[in-house]
Structure 1
């Protein structure tokens, strides 16, 4: 996710890469999220309690049912929901078009739950589309949270693996610090054992434009890599040589992650 400014509000939004690689949404789901997340950026805040959905914006997204906003809000919101609990009414003055005059206007802000229910009650293509958007956003946020919960420990696990490699290398080489290639080689050994490809090849297949390979992998793959890093760190600390570590890591992949390996290998072969 990346931080952007929408409607004077700084929020984290999903990128296409987030949705396709980390969350595994379909192309149609990605298009819908990319289109609509700019309309309701409030949904991407950490705390989405309160009156966060602009009623007038929701009405427009629903293709302006009843033609007039005031008629729609009265029939769909005021009649069935409770003020100051499900929605809040705000009075303000707005400019009259092509004049210097102002006129009073009532605006309404809805809770997320109220907005979803209102959208679901509109039996129109736009109503179904907006409802799908709300559902997908919640699904995306939940899945992204899960991805982060796995990815952050994985990062720390890689640092620990590098620390173990460095300590052993320095001990065996008169305390000379190793070249960074030592760490890359170890990481690629794990990548190849699990996915059948080195990091550079994986990025090429995924179309990644940066060097952050694991930022483009999904939860299942990153969880496996995290567990393999722990195993590898223990092997390094225990004094196992590279070829032995490589063999044991490969065996672990074939026993613990056999289905994952086959699925990824098939996918990469098709992609190549």
Structure 2
């Protein structure tokens, strides 16, 4: 996971101490900077849980607080946050930001770091139900609004990613329905294994011979693999699933369908490559 200082981090600001009462947005930029990073191969905005924990004034220790919130609200490692233990994770480059890279004074070794996405950090702030939490949540919302205004191409890409993800989910459900209906007409029962076979067949076509599970393991991804795929991969999956529905409805058996899907996949990729070069 790569991290770099964000434009939201106030570089010239002193490092004030978190205190009860009203804190201005400039102070929040120093206390809880928002950094650019990647989780599961996707660009995202990252926050230090340690900095957030300190500014919120949480009474419990960092590890206990963060892990309890993870379990309580179902946050997924590799999707909603990552830790120092994750493959490719790095300490923040900004060594001057002591709340992140500080030592655990009791044990004399680095304290484990947790890095939630901006959206996850916003939820963490909201559920604390104190004045600091409400103020920090407003600050995070302003950061998001500023990002959408200043980097519209990123916002557009994220919207495109979301649309592609929803489209792939809808097609997968429809493909399962078509498979079940076709087998019912033949007087056959449909088990989970049949759905898995169809899903793996299409994933191998799209992901270079790997199932979605294998692809996720190769890239160190936790959670649903489709949540970490890019828009092109999701659109390719949707096209394959849509085409497979048509072939299933035509009564085509598994092996002929697989061969036809591989042929049509190459045609789709060729057209996509041509469109990208126009």
Scaled to the shorter chain, the TM-score interval is 0.3 to 0.5
Larger radius of gyration: 1
TM-score of the superposition, structure 1-length normalised? Answer: 0.47
TM-score of the superposition, structure 2-length normalised? Answer: 0.46
